[in-house]
Structure 1
Amino acid sequence: MTRHGARLDIVLQSWRDHGKWRVRELLGHLGRYYTPYGTPERARPYDTDELVSMVGLTDQADTPVARLSGGQRRRLDVAIGIVGKPDLLFLDEPTVGFDPQARQEFHDLVRRLSDREDTTILLTTHDLDEAEKLADRIVILSGGVVVADGSAAELAERVSGKAEVRYSRDGEFFTHSDEDATGYVRELFAAYGEAIGDLEVRRVRLEDVYLAMVREFESGQRTVAPSELTEVTA
């Protein structure tokens, strides 16, 4: 391992290990490999008990890996990925097969990691809701080509600047599209007050953006500017 190699790590979809290792024992063993690469600015590795607590496995610290649940195992995968305090962490389809509760817990963990450490996280996922919740910057690929790059809000504006406002008034239901949904809602309440009910503002979802951009790109209706075009190879 080089000093450069100690600065990045990856959490794969799955990997094999020795199921008899206990959580604290495994993290302590792996952490020792990073000790020579610490710097005054970034001490390496994490303290083992601190890391176990950070990923929510304190109660399972002495549990063999083979006995962890799927969600607990994914937490351990992340702990292994960050034990050396990388500057850059790759997460490859991290929540495949998770139930809703395990998915939410994992999302909370990723947010805590992003807020606590100066670590850049690169997440690959087919779950567009997950990307919208977690990512500051989203890159959409089609056929190995980057067809869009920006925040969820920026990408939504490129497809449609309008949001859909749904509401009821005196028992009747209405739907209105407007670029300034907030302003329209203010006008509604100013004009009708308590007569407005069942209010819902539906902004363009990342799934809508993805489908629209990929369809346009594949049909040739949308061309990618040379400055945007990036070929991705394995």
Structure 2
Amino acid sequence: METSLKNKKILITAGPTREYIDPVRFISNESSGKMGYAIAEALHQMGADVILISGPVSITSSFPKNKIVSVMSGNQMYEACQKHFENIDVAIFCAAVADYKAKNTSVIKIKKIENETTLELEKNVDIAFEFGKVKTENQKSVGFALETNNIHENAVDKLKKKNFDLIVVNSPNVNEGFGYDTNKITIVDKNLSLFSFPLKNKKEVALDILTHLKNSYNIIEEENNHLVNNLI
């Protein structure tokens, strides 16, 4: 694995985003960033050239701080990612970007006046979808999805819609996903094959994901070798 991913330029997003309503309140989620950071650490140890774009997290990590771009909102994360889209070999979209943001952000703290109020939201940027539109044949992308039902159908739909090569699916169960040091995943690849794994710590899960990423390169290399041999 080390040789196939060594020196690959890989972009990873991790953690949540914060979509501010006013200076002290925001829309976010429970993502800790642990999965994205575990993948970044594993790739760094393999010799990959990794850039980690991270939302606000509280993580003690061995990943080099000078390779981390810290952002807050979904738009900031998208703008940071755009700077690297043309030059990367792989994009791994592990961040839990808020689906919606406030349509209007108050520059002052909103006072509690009425018993009820209405917050108008608008759709946030879908970073993985935007990359899928400009992605070249030589680039790969890995997505993540938190699903509670119809796992295979929903995963396949997202894989096709966002032009992923792999999608990693997990559920919001105890010891899985957000906030935990462990995760239980299912991987769906571009051939629509499904691979399920038992509960593991996130460092082990990272290696399972990267093994599938490596295998996707090996498949292409085998196909190219086959074509070359047939031409000789």
TM-score (ref. length: structure 2): 0.29
Which protein shows a greater Rg? 1
Structure holding more strand per residue: 2
TM-score, normalised relative to structure 1: 0.28
* Greater relative CO (CA pairs within 8 A, separation 6+): 2
Specify which structure has the higher proportion of helix: 1
